[in-house]
């Protein structure tokens, strides 16, 4: 019997029949960390070296070849209903198509549906302007389930609300840079009356409560009457009317917004932000209000998890894609021109602002042209600086912003505040 088994085994080997392999544990794939991506060294195959051997299917080089920049599926971008988010979606679509050759689709969406879609289907792939504290429960759950990530900040700043005065007021009274200075110059805003006038937001917005408490905290509640317009339209009308007459005006407003670009305004320094003090400012019964600036808003670029694992170059692009708020204010002002659309504004941005989007795409700026010397240059004698060491101002080291989940909704009572450009 043993001889028969040996003979059958030899026949199987001769015929090339496959034998069952031993089962083995396969280590899980590690998702690439786009924060550590670096450019390939010069001369390597991935950097486009013409002398590098081409990888053939099935070879070791082909199995380790980098993934396509855009992954294996289209990059879908959520275009929210408010103008600033629509403009961002159209801008990113154009840059990804032109610089990464991605197949891009811009899809209408909103905050909660975008998070739900990312968590369930991975679509949309990107939401360029996600105000996460408006949908904290959905956002925190999706991040906890590792279905979506905060890849970066939508804007180069996170402070969007504040008090403002027109440029012409600040130029005539440069001391008005802080709220404390308003105690001495309140008569500028009184228009001949017994109290100054502060234009707040509509009474059913939470900022109306915050502004009243903040005036009290700064010791201004007895010096200013508060005007609360019925709606956004009346607020803008009151500001425009005062500016057209060159009247001094102190008012509340937010960014990104076209109004801040159409007229020249300067923010009033409200001091440092204090979480505890601001929490009290948001309550209708804040017994002892203390000064604080408005709370920073977490407005992030959200991506589905597969973008990190399957399209790390796209994820790295969005890590760098912070739009300056002032630039967005200008884009929103362009959108107010008759016939303008988010698409046309995005086209103009790509043409006019390569210095912004090229940094997002990782493109080095073009070197500045060296001026040609004059035919007969005349020697110029300059006096030495009184303190040569003081002529160069060192640049402060930027503080990195950690990825964060949204805090619980911070605004009290019934709240409505429009997003940029409404």
Query: Rounded mean pLDDT of the chain?
Result: 78
Same domain, 166 and 276: yes
* Cβ 232 vs Cβ 418: under 8 Å: yes
Q: Order across the sheet with 196-199: list the strands.
A: 224-227, 196-199, 250-254, 161-166, 265-267
Q: Is 17 exposed, middle or buried (0-12, 13-18, 19+ CB in 10 A)?
A: exposed
Residue 349 inside a domain? The answer is yes
> Which two three-digit tokens encode residue 353?
């602002």
Residue 201 inside a domain? The answer is yes
Distance of CA 234 to the CA centre of its chain: 29
| Distances in whole angstroms, Cα of residue 212 to Cα of each of 217, 238, 282 | 9, 18, 10
Q: Is the pLDDT of residue 87 over 60?
A: yes
Same domain, 167 and 272: yes
> Which two three-digit tokens encode residue 333?
């002002």
Q: Which residue, of 256, 281, 306, is where some domain finishes? A: 281
Same domain, 136 and 223: no
Q: Which residue, of 246, 281, 316, is where some domain finishes? A: 281
> Which two three-digit tokens encode residue 133?
């504290």
Q: Is the peptide bond before 124 cis (omega within 30 degrees of 0)?
A: yes
- Residue 192's pLDDT is what? 81
Q: 148-172 pLDDT, tens per residue?
A: 999 999 999 899 999 999 999 999 9
CATH number at residue 170: 3.40.190.100
Q: 275-302 pLDDT, tens per residue?
A: 999 999 999 999 999 999 999 988 999 9
- Residue 373's pLDDT is what? 56
Same domain, 178 and 233: yes
> Which two three-digit tokens encode residue 13?
């080997």
Assign 371 a pLDDT band (cuts: 50, 70, 90). Answer: low
Q: Is the pLDDT of residue 392 over 70?
A: no
Distance of CA 198 to the CA centre of its chain: 30
- Residue 422's pLDDT is what? 44
Residue 381 inside a domain? The answer is no
Number of domain units in the chain = 2
Q: Any idea how long the chain is?
A: 422
Same domain, 140 and 247: no
Strand partners, 265: 166
Residue 292 inside a domain? The answer is no
* Segment 207-211 long-range contacts (CB within 8 Å, at least 24 positions apart): 207/161, 207/252, 207/254, 207/417, 209/281, 209/282, 209/283, 209/284, 209/412, 209/413, 210/278, 210/281, 210/282, 210/294, 211/252
**Most confident option among 9-18, 258-267, 372-381:** 258-267
Q: 104-147 pLDDT, tens per residue?
A: 999 999 999 999 999 999 999 999 999 999 999 999 999 999 99
Residue 93 inside a domain? The answer is yes
Assign 17 a pLDDT band (cuts: 50, 70, 90). Answer: very low
Report the alpha-carbon distance of residue 211 to residue 251 in Å, rounded: 10
Residue 180 inside a domain? The answer is yes
> Which two three-digit tokens encode residue 79?
């275009």
Same domain, 227 and 323: no
CATH number at residue 126: 3.40.190.10
Residue 86 inside a domain? The answer is yes
Looking up tokens 């006096």 gives: 383
Q: Which residue, of 216, 251, 281, is where some domain finishes? A: 281
Same domain, 276 and 246: yes
| 356 φ/ψ sector (left φ>0, alpha ψ -120 to 50, else beta) | alpha
Provide the domain limits for residue 133.
Answer: 75-156+298-360
For 108, residues 6+ apart whose C-beta sits below 8 A from its C-beta are 78, 79, 81
Same domain, 229 and 308: no
What integer is the mean pLDDT of 259-266?
Answer: 90
Report the alpha-carbon distance of residue 313 to residue 300 in Å, rounded: 18
Same domain, 235 and 311: no
Same domain, 144 and 222: no
Same domain, 107 and 130: yes
Same domain, 182 and 272: yes
Residue 421 inside a domain? The answer is no
Q: 236-255 pLDDT, tens per residue?
A: 999 999 999 999 999 999 99
Q: Is the pLDDT of residue 30 over 80?
A: no
């Amino acid at each position: 019997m043993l001889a028969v088994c040996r003979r059958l085994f030899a026949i199987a080997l001769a015929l090339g029949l496959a034998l069952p392999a031993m089962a083995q544990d396969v280590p899980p794939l590690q998702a690439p960390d786009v924060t550590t991506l670096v450019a390939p060294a010069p001369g390597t195959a991935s950097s486009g070296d013409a002398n590098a051997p081409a990888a053939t299917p099935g070879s070791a080089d082909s199995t380790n070849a980098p993934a396509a920049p855009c992954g294996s599926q289209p990059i879908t971008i959520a275009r929210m209903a408010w103008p600033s988010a629509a403009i961002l979606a159209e801008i990113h679509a154009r840059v990804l198509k032109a610089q990464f050759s991605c197949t891009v689709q811009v899809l209408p969406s909103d905050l909660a549906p975008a998070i739900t879609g990312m968590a369930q289907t991975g679509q949309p792939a990107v939401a360029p302007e996600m105000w996460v504290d408006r949908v904290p429960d959905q956002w925190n759950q999706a991040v906890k389930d590792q279905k979506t990530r905060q890849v970066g900040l939508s804007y180069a700043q996170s402070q969007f609300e504040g008090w403002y005065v027109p440029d012409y007021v600040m130029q005539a009274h440069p001391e008005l840079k802080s709220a404390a200075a308003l105690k001495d110059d309140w008569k500028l805003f009184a228009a001949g009356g017994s109290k100054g006038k502060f234009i707040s937001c509509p009474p059913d917005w939470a900022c109306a409560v915050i502004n009243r408490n903040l005036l009290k905290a700064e010791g201004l509640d007895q010096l200013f009457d508060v005007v609360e317009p019925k709606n956004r339209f009346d607020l803008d009308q009151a500001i425009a009317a005062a500016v057209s007459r060159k009247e001094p005006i102190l008012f509340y407003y937010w960014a990104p917004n076209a109004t801040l670009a159409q007229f020249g305004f300067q923010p009033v320094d409200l001091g440092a932000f204090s979480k505890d003090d601001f929490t009290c400012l948001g309550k209708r019964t804040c017994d002892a209000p203390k000064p604080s600036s408005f709370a920073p808003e977490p407005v992030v670029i959200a991506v589905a998890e597969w973008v990190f694992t399957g399209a790390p170059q796209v994820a790295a692009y969005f890590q760098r894609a912070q739009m300056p708020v002032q630039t967005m204010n200008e884009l929103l002002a362009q959108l107010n021109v008759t016939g303008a659309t988010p698409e046309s504004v995005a086209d103009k941005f790509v043409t006019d602002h390569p210095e912004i989007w090229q940094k997002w795409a990782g493109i080095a700026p073009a070197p500045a042209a060296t001026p040609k010397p004059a035919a007969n240059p005349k020697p110029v004698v300059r006096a030495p600086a009184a303190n040569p060491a003081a002529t160069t101002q060192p640049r402060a080291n930027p503080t990195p912003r950690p990825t964060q989940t949204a805090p619980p909704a911070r605004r009290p009572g019934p709240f409505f505040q429009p997003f940029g450009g409404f």
